[in-house]
Structure 1
Amino acid sequence: MHARKIDCRSIKHAQSGNGWICRQCRFRIAGVESGWSSARIGEPLRFIAEQQCANPIIVINEIDKAVGGATSSSGTSTSLVNALLPLLDPHSAQEFNCPASQLVCNMSRINWILTANKLSGLSQPFLSRLELIHVSSLTEEQYLLALDALCPDDQLLRDYLRRLIANDWGNPNFSLRALARATQRLQSGPQPMLQ
């Protein structure tokens, strides 16, 4: 048995001014029924078929921002979270009915990795299908280690960022993303003054 490299794809959440809307994400995961002109199989099934890989790893980042969705006139919810429910349940996933092809497909071997900043908006039926792994905040030492990747060749910048970390790492708004943004701003130098 050997490992082989397979292609990677990304399914982005759509964002609007009043929050995350995942109507399209739901259809991209589950597929669109064959009666519609835009009928198509979902991305997981398409990926399995194209890559000839029955057990892909599918990562959905910040699933907590995808709980909204929309409700159809018949009362059916079209959120990404609801589309994932049958795919996350091993028994339902074994007999997943593709709405586009009307074929029954075994999707139970997909390895799902979902990330979230908070769990409070996610339903209990959804959470019960997951193995939850809580990742604690970074320590000061871990932030300092990140400097090796962020600015390996600039000692002056590293010294400045070490002081920034020492002063701010305990602040709830401080994050690796904030540190990376500060690094990028400092590396780009002073911005021209616009008048």
Structure 2
Amino acid sequence: MQHDVKQISLRKAKIDDFDFFYSIKSEKSNIYWTGHDKKPDAFSLKIWFEGQINSEKRLIYIIYLNDVKVGYSYLDIITDSIIETEGLEKILESPKTLIDNSYINKKDKVIIEISIGISEVYQNQGLGNFAIETLLKLIKNEYKFFKIICWILENNVTSQKIFKKNSFYPTIDVRNQYIPCDDKTYQMRKYIYDV
């Protein structure tokens, strides 16, 4: 079934979204691509989820197709020169958050790293592509940034195609990621959005 980008929307995750988040994190494909070997413990994941939705360094968005939850996205705020010039302690003590645009007034201070997960029920319908397109619009409209990046496993050809289609290009930066389901280590490559 083909969909339209207009049917996709994003909303910041709330604690009420945990059951959906847990269900998608328990799917076989999500377990595999996130480098785990079994579904998460619900109690531990809920504690982690609550911490993340209250974090200043990560935003979790729920991806909707019309009014149906179909996936999630992480938007991680990575600071480089802010930390180098002002120190992490000073930033964390500030009443303004890293995500608050009033604190970040220079685009060269922030890198945003994104990742997405689409439920197995809705995969292979073009939703990942539309979700990234919608996420990029949200980032450009709501956040100041220098770069948008993502990391993709070398064997995740589908994600490579989707991100390339949305103007991300591969870099020479790689890191190793162990995938327990395969008992093998793969390379993850950094992709950068061509702003």
After TM superposition, the score normalised by the length of structure 2 is 0.30
Rg bigger for which structure?
1
The structure whose residues are more often strand, as a share, is 2
After TM superposition, the score normalised by the length of structure 1 is 0.30
